[in-house]
Amino acid sequence: MMNIIVVKIVWIGVLKMSFKFGKVLLEYIGDEKRIVIPEGVEFVSSYAFVNNKSIEEVIMPSTLKRIGDEAFSECSNLKVVQFNEGLKEIGDFAFSECESLKKLIFPESINFIGKNCFEYCINLETVVFKNNSNEEEENLSLGDYVFSNCESLNKVKIEKNVEDIGNSVFMSCSSIRNIQFPKGIYKVPADTFRGCSRLDSVELPDDITSIGDWAFWGCKSLHRINFPRLKHQEYNEECECVNLPLELEIIGHHAFGNSGVEVVVIPEKTFLIYNDTFDGCGCLQKVLRRSGDKLKQGWIYNFAYREELEKYLNKIGLDKHDAFEISEFIRKGKAHSERCKDKWNKIKNILEKKEATPHFIKYCESVKYLPSITKIFGESMGDYK
């Protein structure tokens, strides 16, 4: 069994070190403003510097691979952190409430940043993730709330490929004006830009397939969403147009609620939008639906309750009994179930003969459950075009 060694270094106080699983910095006790962590340290333990009000600058050693949970949390005077190439992981809440941090440049080697890692770094202005020059480096994963409530953050540059991004990563970053969403991501998670009141343009990858609940809620300045495949503006009136990615299938609850969007172009592949997706959008004038190379006036149909589904089935020509039976089948998620595949195929043939759209059929197959009520509250969004 290896011993735990306490190393005294006069110019930075006391570092408690362990050599059991590589060299681990367990704790720092001191009041120096500038900390240079010694070479050889591979892991800064959780809470090692927590709530230290003296530290203003930290230099990481080239050997460091991981920073533990809350390692530098609440170091309110910490202004500069120099990360080393070779650093792989930064834990949950590691730098949360470091109110004096202004700029972060992450090394190419970083591949994981834990939840709430930099939340409430209220003076943080710039975040840069360097590009992977080494193809063998792992892609980046960002946990939930990583930069939430960084109210001064106005420049975000993500050159590195991203594998996964959690919910609420930039929530309430009220100074962000524009951002290019990282490649490799197929969804905009829930609450990603919620409350980013100055965000006016976003560039999304071509292959985004879903936009989560509340993703752009409260983005009152948002007028443009661009993506590379669209080379020109297709709608040219005085108001600006939000063109959504061509592969987009699902837009979640309140996704653009209380935002500044004026004209929205829904892609042809989109089959699910909720009744509250654009709630509170006082500037919204038109919703256009892409059909091939053309744009049509109209909305996608959405069913919040079984009764709305039954009403639509009546409209396309099914009698009352069949409309009720089929709406019940879909409501219970049976069109989504492998066990009911044969019966669903028979129903699907009936719907196709009644000229139900492919979008409607795809929607039915996505339903896992719909509530049933005797009275429908609110209005449906309209019919398929």
Q: What are phi and psi of 94, to 5 degrees?
A: -55, -40
Report the alpha-carbon distance of residue 71 to residue 92 in Å, rounded: 9
The pLDDT tens digits of the residues spanning 297-351 come to 444 555 667 887 888 898 889 999 999 999 999 989 999 888 999 999 999 999 9
Question: Is a pLDDT exceeding 70 seen at residue 159?
Answer: yes
Cα 372 from chain centroid?
A: 31
- Taken in order 335, 337, 339, 341, the sign of the CA dihedral is positive
The arithmetic mean of pLDDT across residues 358-370, rounded, is 81
Cα 119 to Cα 91, 130, 146, 376: the distances in Å are 13, 21, 6, 41
pLDDT for 261 equals 85
Q: What is the pLDDT of residue 135?
A: 67
Local confidence band at 384 (pLDDT 50, 70, 90 cut-offs): very low
Q: Where does the pLDDT of residue 380 fall: very low under 50, low under 70, confident under 90, or very high at 90 and above? A: very low
Residues 124-147 have a mean pLDDT of 87
Rg (CA), the chain: 26
Relative to beta strand 57-59, strand 80-82 is parallel
Give the pLDDT of residue 228.
54
Q: What is the pLDDT of residue 303?
A: 66
CA 283 to mean position of chain CA atoms = 24
Nearest to 221 by CA among 191, 258, 250, 248: 258
* pLDDT of 268 above 80: no
Q: Which position has the higher pLDDT, 209 or 87? A: 87
What mean pLDDT is reported for the chain?
A: 82
Closest-CA residue to 142 (of 170, 121, 123, 173): 170
Whether the per-residue pLDDT at 376 is higher than 60: the answer is no
Section 24-52 average pLDDT: 92
β partners of residue 20 = 22
* Neighbouring residues of 257: CB distance < 8 A, sequence distance ≥ 6: 214, 217, 218, 276, 277, 278, 279, 280, 281
Among 11-25, 81-95, 152-166, the range scoring the smallest mean pLDDT is 11-25
Predicted confidence (pLDDT) per residue in 195-249, tens digit: 999 998 888 887 888 899 999 999 999 877 765 554 434 444 444 667 788 888 8
- Phi and psi (nearest 5°) for 121? -85, 80
On whether the CB atoms of residues 52 and 28 are closer than 8 A, the answer is: yes
Q: What is the pLDDT of residue 88?
A: 96
CA angle 69, 72, 75 (to 5 degrees): 145
pLDDT of residue 95: 98
Does the pLDDT value for residue 63 go beyond 80? yes
- Asked if 20 and 43 touch (Cβ cutoff 8 Å), the reply is no
Task: Decide if 305 contacts 281 (C-beta within 8 A).
Answer: no
State residue 301's pLDDT score: 54
DSSP-assigned beta bridge partners for residue 226? 203
The whole-number average pLDDT for the span 268-286 is: 79
- In this predicted structure, which of 3-7, 283-287, 350-354, 369-373 has the lowest mean pLDDT? 3-7
Between 183 and 148, name the one with better pLDDT.
148
What are the b/e assignments for 47-80, b being 16+ CB within 10 Å?
Answer: bbbbebeebeebebbebbebbbbbbbbbbeebbe
User: What are the structure tokens assigned to 270, written together?
Assistant: 């989109």
144: exposed, middle or buried (C-beta count within 10 Å: 0-12, 13-18, 19+)? buried
- Mean pLDDT is lowest, of 25-29, 43-47, 269-273, 375-379, for 375-379
